[in-house]
Amino acid sequence: MEQWPLKELASIYGVHIQNIEQQKQSVLKLETNRGTFALKHSRLEPEELYLQFHICRHLETKGFNRIASIVPTRLGDAFAQLNSERFMLTTWLETEQSNLVNPADLELAVLNLAQFHNAGAGYFGKVFWPKRRLYGVWPQRFSFRLGHILRYHRQILARGIRDEFDQLFVNIAGRALNQAGAAINRLKAGSYYRLANKARAMGTICHHDYAYHNILMDRNRRVWLVDFDYCILDMPLHDLGSMILRTVKLSNWSLDDAKRILLIYHEEKPLEPGELEVLLSFMEYPQDFWQLAWARYNEVGMHKYENLLLRLKKFVDTAEARDKFLARFARLCESKNFLPGRDIL
């Protein structure tokens, strides 16, 4: 624990530390005279931590209390800073990670996501970090990343293929580029901007990392949501689309799993006309492919080649199943009877 300035932090938070347990490289469990807490060493910028703090406060005022509450310092600050290092203290939760392969856990997690989105609406506080405001920017961001894929493709063809990653990238780049273009065009021509403007007016928020390790279950099977490090101001479909993608990737792109998530979510937070098409565009855009290309060709030396190659092979191997899923989801978007009580334009 030598790298942790615990004496100084105890003073800043006004606690007496009685016991310490290392949980992760960046997280300690602290037993103190004021209770049990999680202490996190954060690499986020101050503005990002302020946004996280104020969004969590907003959720609590709206009655969404099953989160790891951020504990302010003795002076009321959102985090503690010692030199260039920043630390955040939160309440400790006696929980375990969810298992979203388990249908019961998945249903609870989807229901909790809808409740989180309902409670989160109405955030009009300071943004602190403009890059976290994403209302209406999907087509722009997707187009920007499409440009990256095009550039890498041209560079490889110009210099020649050097390794297996290059070869796989070139083989599938055409399909990825077509899908990226289709997703962008659908967003621009459909309901995306109307829905984004509505989300902006409603002050909606997203967790932006709604994954099993941040969706926790207590002994009473109540869901708790933690780690708002990547929270953003955007339409709730961002979280919903990400959750569907995470789930169907585990089931070889099962449309039934996607439909189940949508139906559970819709019962708590009804989806409106145009939202399924926006979800289709979100899922069709080859984000995983872009991330792998970015890591390989832009973040040179920062990632193990073998890991990136393995992930690209998996993307290629599941491309056909992914395409079939997207085609079936597109037909679902045209259905007039899929979501109960949903009016179709």
- Domain segments of the chain as ranges: 6-92, 103-325
pTM (predicted TM-score): 0.95
Is 70 exceeded by the pLDDT of residue 342? no
Share of the chain above pLDDT 70, in %: 98
> CA–CA distance from 310 to each of 97, 145, 226, 315, 317 (Å)?
26, 22, 30, 9, 10
- Segment among 8-12, 73-77, 341-345 with least mean pLDDT: 341-345
Q: What is the pLDDT of residues 56-90, one digit of tens each?
A: 999 999 999 999 999 999 999 999 999 999 999 99
Q: Comparing 6-92 with 103-325, is the CATH topology the same? A: no
Question: pLDDT of 86-141, one tens digit each?
Answer: 999 999 999 999 999 999 999 999 999 999 999 999 999 888 888 999 999 999 99
Measured distance CA(209)–CA(114) in Å, rounded: 15
Dihedral angle over CA of 242, 319, 285, 205, nearest 10? 0
Which CATH number fits the domain 6-92, given the four candidates 3.40.50.1980, 3.10.20.30, 3.40.50.150, 3.30.200.20?
Answer: 3.30.200.20
The two beta strands, 80-82 and 35-42, are: unpaired
| Domain 103-325 part of CATH 3.90.1200.10 | yes
Cβ burial, residue 75 (10 Å; 0-12/13-18/19+): exposed
